[in-house]
Amino acid sequence: MFEQNSTLIMIGDSVTDAGRVYPLAENRKEDLGKGYPSLVNALLAACYPQLSVRMINAGISGNTVRSLKERWQKDVLDYAPDYLSVMIGINDIWRQFDDPQLTGKHVYIDEFEATYRELIEKAKESGRLKGLYLISCCFMEPNKQEPMRKMVEQYNAVTKKLAQEYGAVYVDAQAAFDKVMEYKHPMYLTWDRVHPQLGGHMVIAREFLKAAGYDLA
């Protein structure tokens, strides 16, 4: 659980971005966007009002793990966060399906793992980081044999392995969505199987806070 007056950075792609303000999105009203970072902030304020945490949303639409590497210093390390949450991977996968000819945009699994590992090691070098949370990327498709869903499972297995290796908390948002999809059609959660609607963002926010040790049952 987060310490008083600590800083939490949530970084990722459009799922994290979710319409946040630029250049810096933190704590105030709609500045954090309309996604799970804003909901995490709101749930903490409502359920744990005694806790003061500086929340920064550093998501940027379209990012891959390669993109995170380019901005890791200025958007993560320069803030020396106490807690860091990373949700990345869906664009690394998606570009292999929606832009199959543009191979320069593709981040294959070996590069994904090597780059992600490098980012984690840089984040931990300072010795300041008290908590690291690696959130699985998500594809709202219940058929695990569907080609893109199958690849999501493979990339998430890498994320989970890295979390175990580096003592991070693995947040299995995909598994949380799978439970919801036992009762709700994917279109209830998302319009394109990737970008969650509000209910989908709440699934991620709740799973994140549960993994961080908060009681939201």
Catalogue all structural domains in the chain, each as residue range(s) with its CATH number: 6-211 (3.40.50.1110)
Position 202 scores a pLDDT of 96
14 counts as catalytic: yes
215 counts as catalytic: no
Task: List the catalytic residue out of 13, 14, 38, 75.
Answer: 14
* pLDDT of 217 above 70: no
> What CA–CA distance (Å, rounded) separates 90 from 16?
12
Task: List the catalytic residue out of 75, 172, 195, 201.
Answer: 195
13 counts as catalytic: no
Q: Which percentage of the chain shows pLDDT scores above 90?
A: 94
Instruction: Give the global pTM.
Output: 0.96
* pLDDT of 28 above 80: no
- Mean of the pLDDT values across residues 132-159? 97
Cα dihedral 53/57/58/60 (nearest 10): 170
Cα–Cα nearest to 137, from 63, 30, 79, 211: 63
What are the residues whose beta carbons fall under 8 Å from the beta carbon of 15, sequence distance 6 or more? 35, 36, 59, 87, 90, 137, 138, 194, 195, 196, 204
Position 126 scores a pLDDT of 81
- Residue 107's pLDDT band, with cuts at 50, 70 and 90, is very high
Dump pLDDT digits (tens) for 45-91: 999 999 999 999 999 999 999 999 999 999 999 999 999 999 999 99
* pLDDT of 102 above 70: yes
